[in-house]
Structure 1
Amino acid sequence: MALLKSLYSGSTPDELCAALDNQLSARQIGYKAKKLGLRKSAEYMNKYGIAENGTRVAGSVSWNKGKKFNALGRSVETQFKKGTKPPNWRPVGSTRISKDGYIEIKIAEGMHKWRLLHRENWKKHHGQYPKSGQAIIFIDGNKHNCNISNLALITRQELMLKNSVHNLPAPLKQVIQLTGALRRRVNERSKQRRQTA
């Protein structure tokens, strides 16, 4: 342990392992050093780009850069093999239903390569996506009918008015307004109780 105490502050894990005749692994040496309260020197931390809190300083070179990683245990047999595809892989052109109920189509391999089918159909037919402030709607209201004849372009303002409560029958409008008023009252009461508690 005297050798470990004298060398630990300025030596890399590999150097420590070699000095101790490989009787302990780098991890075991780290555990022993922690138990003994040993710390790396300021020179070592500056040299290897380690901050006071133990994190790596941006742009610094780690002590094990360029060294081959030795996989231990069963990790080699459980690693992903080159060219294997995950079980949820789908080919380009596949479709799926999004959480909002729209049909999405895979346009390319890789992450984030799914697009809304109705927008892709619009682009294919018109040459570009709708401009900012415009929205594509389904004429028959069916999100799964992405045929170009069922798609129409409207402004976001028109969409807001179309989806607004003002288009509902009068009795239903009144119920929605009363529900909102009741919810606001309940929220105010709960907030007052929390503030007084």
Structure 2
Amino acid sequence: MFRYTSEHKDFIQKFAPGRYNDEITNLFNARFGTNLTENQIKNFKSNHKIKSHVPSGRATGREILFTKKQKDFIVKHVEGRSNVELTDLFNSHFGLSIKVSQIKSFKKNNRLSSGLTGRFEPGRVPFNKGIKKYWIGGEDTQFKKGHIPKNYMPVGTERVNTDDYVDIKIADPNKWRGKHLVIWEKHNERAVPTGYVVIFGDGNRRNFNPDNLILVTRGQLAIMNRRGLIQKDAELTRTGILLADIYKKIGEKKRERKNEK
């Protein structure tokens, strides 16, 4: 039986409004490294009287969870852009790694169209062929070489993302990364290995002291979240990692004995 912590409950209460159970489940598992089912989330909501207030009908097909701000961004920029271009623009703006298929699914479910045919008809001559300048006026308001937009954010700028983590801009034009990851990698002089994550030892996402940033496997994190082993003290959390390994070993032994029967 999965043991929910107060952090789990607060997370579900925060993200439940306006979202379907499968969306909440995907968010929850991504955030805590768990493997809960949609039914488990549904039962938790029911037991704690948490309501999503979503309509019973929904568009067919699955789309990732977008915030209202992100949905508005897609609607505003969909026209005249291919799915790849729109996805790149979206990820650059929000510092995410959304797939092209997910943007495509969102457009389909919300009946959005770029207005592009996706092909260049045979025999068609580009309208600007042989023309160096095809507009009249406007030079005074055009971006000059080296122009910096008013909303430009320099490398090193920090922001808080939708999951309440601090991101830091690491490169232009708009490449962002979790500040805790940047600090851990700089301190340890290596990249975070595949299959690992960096957690805050005391649970405080604003404490970027290198001693508070702990590297764990996704498997360890899943067990720690399930067992409530992430404490408000980094040393206790490190002890929790050892316990997580023990729980994992016990589980493996139980499965081996079960398979032998």
Q: Return the TM-score normalized by structure 2.
A: 0.38
**The structure with more radius of gyration:** 1
Q: Return the TM-score normalized by structure 1.
A: 0.49
